[in-house]
Amino acid sequence: MTTMLYAITLEVRDAPGVLVRVAQVFARRGCNISSVHVEHPAETPWSHMSITVQNVARIDQIHHQLEKLVDVHRVTINHHQDTSHE
Amino acid sequence: MDGATALIKTLERQGVEYIFGYSGGAAIPIFDAIVTSGTAIKLILVRHEQGAAHMADGYARASGKPGVVLVTSGPGAGNVVTGLMTAHMDSVPMIVICGQQIRQMLGFDAFQEADVFNMTMPVVKHNYMVHEVNDLPRIVNEAFHLATTGRPGPVLLDIPKDVSSAPFTGSLDAPIDLPAYTHRHSVSKTHIAAIAAAWQKAKRPLILAGHGVLIAQAAPAVRTLAEAMDTPVTTTLLGKGALPETHRLALGMLGMHGTAYANKAVVECDFLLNVGSRFDDRIIGDPAQFCPKAFKAHIDIDAAELHKMIAVDVAVRGDAKESLEALTAALQPARHTTWNKHLDGYRRQYPLQYSDNEGLTMQHLIDRVYHITGGKAVVATDVGQHQMWAAQFYKIDQPRNWLSSGGAGTMGYGFPAAIGAQFARPHEPVVAFVGDGGFQMTLYELATACINKLPLKIIVLNNHYLGMVRQWQELFYDNRESGVNLEGNPDFCKLAEAYGARGIHITGLDDADAKLREAFAITDRPVVINAEVVKTSNVFPMVPPGAPLTNMIITPPATALDKPTGST
Ligand SMILES: Cc1ncc(C[n+]2csc(CCOP(=O)(O)OP(=O)(O)O)c2C)c(N)n1
Ligand SMILES: [Mg+2]
């Protein structure tokens, strides 16, 4: 089986609850987050969030819903197929 | 000055007229500041926090200004969740302020501590936990900005009691600081040109207007464009009033219980412009078979709605009014006589109709109210069969005259929403059409309506059933009734009188008109009209859920229908 991997990076406000808001976009679809990393580099106004998810439907829709969050500044999504488990 | 006073003063600067509220320990400092600050804002004490939320929602829909709610922590905040969801689904601007436990107790399961910040995230546009008293004015200003710009929605502020009681040393002029939020999107000229080119070539064009038109105050722009292009207009449930429904180009509502001619127009059109509707599953039926032959264009302020349900040929992200005006400028006026005559044929062949053979129907009563009020009332509805018939038979000619819970379909919405609307528009007639089921979910607000001597008319369309569910059980579940019989309803007239309202009982066709006229002559208090109607009628036309619009059932089916598989 081929797996579609999505690597999502977000620039977000360093505000309480922002991780919950992002996680809810996935959780409401029953989509599991494989990994998440958040840090706030000293020199920038934004926290950087990196998330990976697998095989989620309608990633375009997720992209817009993430961008719509009031605390989310920018969203980039990269995807690639993982055939290593075949 | 304490935080609570700074909060009230900031609300006042935002132009707030009313706060719909219910007090409790964590909110006492804020209620106190309403008195001590000498504010001109009027506090409307409700009887349940859900009532407050729907009143604020009705106030907002009827006025265009955000409604404001103030409740206590824990159960108080819990009771507004349905109201938040209702407003969120329908893009209604609302500010909900909740008291909260003191900061040092947060996370300790202290008395009436509920994690309202996390609990409400999915049902608001944005929310805040206020940790610093001096942040209050900025946060209030941000809340109003967020609630009213872009795609509007509810914003919640959770304010710990020690924050509202703390001395305030900041500035009331605090500017907003929302660096990640953008709400203005310039309309793409290329996309407008592409829509114009397709429209110019179209033989059977159609406009679909949604709530976004009313939110953007674009109803006049719809009319100008529709008339210039001789193009008929259908609206969603929430779009009623986007074009006067008495206009020659108005087709009424489309979708599950839309008019036959609107649905046929959707099926047959070769060009569809959706402005400000999100292609909800209640209007598109089976998305794969929606509007198959047409060039489809979609204008929406929210990028997350574009291409979501329906992949369109051109999608424009932007303000409805600005986009429609750009389109008008880009188009040469056209005539579509053949197409409009063709649709007139459908209007004659499949008119909305009802029969008096079996007695007083909801349709008959709504139709009479339409005529008695000259179509000028502000109409709120609850959810169910009566809602769909009200949408069919009460034509709306003016924006902000139709308040109905669309996306959430919240029973219990109609009556408190009508109260909010009457506060917003004190000198206009306000009518609430409610079912016997839904009215019982929020009828305790009769106290609020009576104390404030609101002259609104509450019309209980009493079929002694959860009618809409009974209809589905009849059509799709072999008429097996389960949990829908409301025999044992209270005497709604006596109940009304107990609160100090007038109760008027309509028992059938014979007394309907006289009793309605009697009710509409009363102006010093609320009137509850309990109308006994035919118990087991069904709403038609009906597109079974998830089915294509071509499967619309116009008259009662002779055989049993398959269980629906699509959207609930
Ligand atoms: C809060 C809530 N609970 C349940 C429903 C499901 N529901 C939709 S319509 C309906 C029946 C409404 O009955 P009534 O208020 O009497 O109106 P009628 O359909 O009879 O006109 C029900 C139970 C709902 N929409 N909202
Ligand atoms: Mg009923």
* Residue found by looking up tokens 């404001």 in the block: B68
Tell if the CB–CB gap between A61 and B304 is shorter than 8 Å: yes
Domain span at A77: 3-82
b/e burial code for range A15-41 (CB count within 10 A of at least 16 → b) = eebbbebbeebbeeeebeeeeeeeeee
Entry pTM: 0.98
Residues B137/B101, Cβ–Cβ less than 8 Å = no
* Residue found by looking up tokens 């700074």 in the block: B6
Residues B370/B352, Cβ–Cβ less than 8 Å = no
Q: Relative to the alpha carbon of B386, which ligand is closest? A: 1
Q: Do domains B3-165 and B362-540 have the same CATH topology?
A: yes
CATH class of B189-349: alpha beta
What pLDDT does residue A86 have?
47
Encoding tokens for residue B44? 């409307």
- Predicted confidence band at A82 (pLDDT cuts at 50, 70, 90)? confident
Output the CA B437–ligand 2 centroid distance in Å. Answer: 5
* Residue found by looking up tokens 């107990």 in the block: B498
Indicate which residue of B42, B111, B349, B353 is catalytic: B111
- The pLDDT mean for chain B works out to 97
Rounded Cα–Cα distance for residues B191 and B198 (Å): 11
CATH superfamily of B362-540: Thiamin diphosphate (ThDP)-binding fold, Pyr/PP domains (3.40.50.970)
The single-letter DSSP state of residue B21 is: E
Total of domains in chain A:
1
Cis preceding linkage at B179, omega within 30: no
Contact A47/B at CB under 8 A:
no
b/e burial code for range B260-270 (CB count within 10 A of at least 16 → b) = bbbbbbbbbbb
**pLDDT, tens only, B397-442:** 999 999 999 999 999 999 999 999 999 999 999 999 999 999 999 9
What is the residue-wise DSSP string for B233-278? EEE-STTTTSS-TTSTTEEEE-STT--HHHHHHHHH-SEEEEES--
- For chains A and B, what is the number of CB pairs under 8 angstroms? 41
Domain at A35, CATH number: 3.30.70.260
Q: What is the ipTM of this complex?
A: 0.95
Pocket perturbation via mutation, ligand 1, pick of B393, B468, B486, B535 by most ligand atoms within 8 A of CB: B468
Residues of A in contact with B306 (CB under 8 A): 64
B351: helix, strand or coil? coil
Tell if the CB–CB gap between A68 and B181 is shorter than 8 Å: no
Fold adopted by B3-165: Rossmann fold (3.40.50)
**pLDDT, tens only, B134-191:** 999 999 999 999 999 999 999 999 999 999 999 999 999 999 999 999 998 999 999 9
Tell if the CB–CB gap between B308 and A24 is shorter than 8 Å: no
- A80 burial (CB, 10 Å; 0-12 / 13-18 / 19+) is exposed
**pLDDT, tens only, B307-328:** 999 999 999 999 999 999 999 9
